[in-house]
Amino acid sequence: MSGDAWNVSLNIIASVITGSAVWLVTKALALRKTRRMQVFFGLTGGDECLVVVPRHASSNRDRSVHRNDAAALLELSTVLGDCRARPEVVFHDDVYQGAADKAEFCIGGPDANHRTAAHLRSAVPNLRHALYEDDPEGVTISVGERRFPVEMGRAEYVALAKIQRERDDKPAFLICGQTSVSNRAAARYLQRNHTRLMRTYGLRKRFCLILRVVEPGTYGPSVVELAHDATFEAFTTS
């Protein structure tokens, strides 16, 4: 083999080795990212998780779901697909399971979702969401001394909380909004910002955020900002 041919062969071999190394590193990083995401959401490949949907608050039919709450499920479907999880979608009053048997996504406020009401009472004692009959105009979310009523035409609020009762328990994610639009906004926020939430709170720690949905009548669920990090107050018994 001539010198030129030998050099060409060496270059080809080096290129193959370099390409293989880059592919392996990329695959390893992607796998690590997926595994961290699975730990954060309490999901491993093939696990079944619980997705609890609320009733349509203004519908006469008991089993009606608002289209925005259905859209919230679609926002979460990306997360579930990336974690290779199998969702069990159930209506809020059809759940007869423990609080940490499966990873859980619970959508809707206590008026529309009985399981949300139970989670708030048992696991997030200082986070309160007013019932419509008590606060029909504001449906105020409060935590500690802070209050977040609906700002008519300007802003709506939603609590996004991760409940992790014990280290080895499966977590539950609460999406507890004042409206179906705010529920959808929080599901989108979780889907888009889970990497940042993992960096901020770790893979197994709980958190509670109050999110503001800006001008929902114009922008829908698209413009969302953090109104308050309520992690310290929410889990403290008042």
Note the pLDDT tens digit of each residue in 141-172: 999 889 999 998 899 999 999 998 877 789 99
User: Which pLDDT value is given to residue 6?
Assistant: 52
Q: May I ask the CATH class of domain 42-234?
A: alpha beta
User: Which pLDDT value is given to residue 21?
Assistant: 44
d(CA 176, CA 145): 18
| Domain definitions of the chain by residue range | 42-234
Which of 58 and 22 is assigned the larger pLDDT?
58
139: pLDDT strictly greater than 50 = yes
- Whole-prediction pTM value? 0.84
41: pLDDT strictly greater than 90 = yes
- DSSP 8-class letter at 152: T
Q: To 5 degrees, how large is the angle CA 89–CA 169–CA 28?
A: 85
Contact 182, 221 (CB under 8 A): yes
Comparing 90-99, 107-116, 158-167, 218-227, the range with the smallest average pLDDT is 90-99
E-assigned strand segments in the chain: 48-53, 86-91, 104-107, 127-129, 141-143, 146-148, 155-163, 172-177, 207-214, 224-229
Query: Which of these, 95, 114, 99, lies nearest to 55 by C-alpha position?
Result: 114
Q: To 5 degrees, how large is the angle CA 64–CA 186–CA 159?
A: 95
* Strand order from edge to edge, sheet including 127-129: 127-129, 141-143, 146-148
Note the pLDDT tens digit of each residue in 180-235: 999 999 999 999 999 999 999 999 899 999 999 999 999 999 999 999 999 999 98
